[in-house]
Amino acid sequence: MLANFFSKSKPVNFVILFLLFVVYFSISLFLKDISILNAVKKAIIFMLIFSVYNFILLKNELAKDNSFAFLFYVILVGFYINYIQINSVFYNNLLSLFLFRKVYSLQSSKKTYQKLFDGGLWSGVLFIIEPHTVIFILLLYVAIYLYNHLTYRTLIIPIFGFIVPVFIFYTYNFVLNQTDFFFSLFSWEISLDFSPYNSGNFLFSSITIGIFTLISILIKSPQTFAILDKSRQNWILILTHLFLSLLVFIQNSERTGIEFLYLLFPISVILANGIELVKKKWLADIIILLFLVASTIQILT
C-alpha cells in the first residue's frame, strides 16, 4: 500500500511527506529544550531545503516520476533531527543544494557557461563557511566530463566563479585587518576519531541506512551500466556525489551528528532508485515501514 501510494508523484504525496516531517519535528521539539525562535528558524530552513531538493529531482530526472526519493529524504532527516543544530553545517547544507542544482542541470546544454560559473561561485561560498566542502567542486568537473562539456573554457570557468566570493571575502578581511582569519580557511582541522559514532544510536542508523544503500547500489548498477543513455550518466554522478559526500563527512572535525546531513542527498536518491526495482509491492512496503519505524526509534532513544 505504501509503495503503491508513493510510486506516483501527486500533490497529496507532498502534503503527506510534509506532515511526516512535522511529526518528526514535533517529537524532537518535545524531547529537546529549544527556543521558539530557533524552532521557527529551523523549520523555515528545512522548508527551503525540501523545496530546492524536490526541484532538483523533478528537473533532472534523478529518479523515476514518483515520490520515493523525497520520502527517503524526509525519513533520513528524521533519523538525525535530534542532532541538527542551527550552525554553519546546517546553513552549508542548504547552500550546497544550489551548487548541486547547477551540477545536475549540466545534462542540458543550455547556458552551460553560466551554470559552471554559478557552480564555482557556490563552491566558493561553501568554502568560506566550511572549508572542507570545497571538495564538492569536483562534482562539477565530473559532470563536465559525463555530459560531454569538456573544453578548456569549461575547465577554467568554475575556477573564476570560485575566486569571486573568496576574493571578496579576502578584501573584507583585509579592510578589517584580520587576514589571519582568511588564511585560516586553508588550514583544515581533520579528525580521524570516529569513537563518538560507537554509541548505539549512531550505529543503529548507520548500519540500517548503510545496508540498504549498498543493496540499492548493487541491484541498480548492473542494469544501469548496461545502457548507454542519460540515466547511466546520472547514476555515475550520483555515486560520485556519494563518494565526495563521504570525504566531506570524514573531514568534518566535529562529530555531533549534524554532519550526516551531507550524505542525505545522494543516499535518498540511491535508495529511491533501489526500491523502484523491487517488483513485489509487499516487500517494498516492508522496507518503507522498516525505515519509518527505525527513524522513530532513533528519535525517541
If one compares 204 and 248, the residue with the highest pLDDT of the two is: 248
Instruction: Say if 35 falls within a structural domain.
Output: yes
- Is residue 156 within 8 A of residue 137, CB to CB? The reply is no
- Is residue 103 within 8 A of residue 140, CB to CB? The reply is yes
- Is residue 139 within 8 A of residue 246, CB to CB? The reply is no
Instruction: Say if 120 falls within a structural domain.
Output: no
pLDDT reported for residue 256: 82
Question: What percentage of the chain exceeds 70 in pLDDT?
Answer: 100
- Is residue 256 within 8 A of residue 57, CB to CB? The reply is no
Across the chain, what does the average pLDDT equal?
A: 89
Confidence of residue 200 (pLDDT cuts 50, 70, 90): low
Domain ranges, residue 53: 2-110+133-141+191-300
User: Per residue in 131-163, pLDDT tens?
Assistant: 999 999 999 999 999 998 889 999 999 999 999
Instruction: Say if 124 falls within a structural domain.
Output: no
- In total, how many domains does the chain have? 1
pLDDT reported for residue 190: 75
User: Per residue in 53-83, pLDDT tens?
Assistant: 989 988 888 887 788 899 999 999 999 998 8
Instruction: Say if 186 falls within a structural domain.
Output: no
Residues with Cβ within 8 Å of 85's Cβ and at least 6 positions away in sequence, in order, are: 256, 258
Instruction: Say if 157 falls within a structural domain.
Output: no
Residues with Cβ within 8 Å of 299's Cβ and at least 6 positions away in sequence, in order, are: 24, 27, 28, 31, 78, 79, 81, 82
Residues 232 and 221: their CA atoms lie apart, in Å, by: 9
Instruction: Say if 99 falls within a structural domain.
Output: yes
Instruction: Say if 45 falls within a structural domain.
Output: yes
Instruction: Say if 164 falls within a structural domain.
Output: no
3-state secondary structure of 67: coil
Q: In this model, does residue 173 exceed pLDDT 90?
A: yes
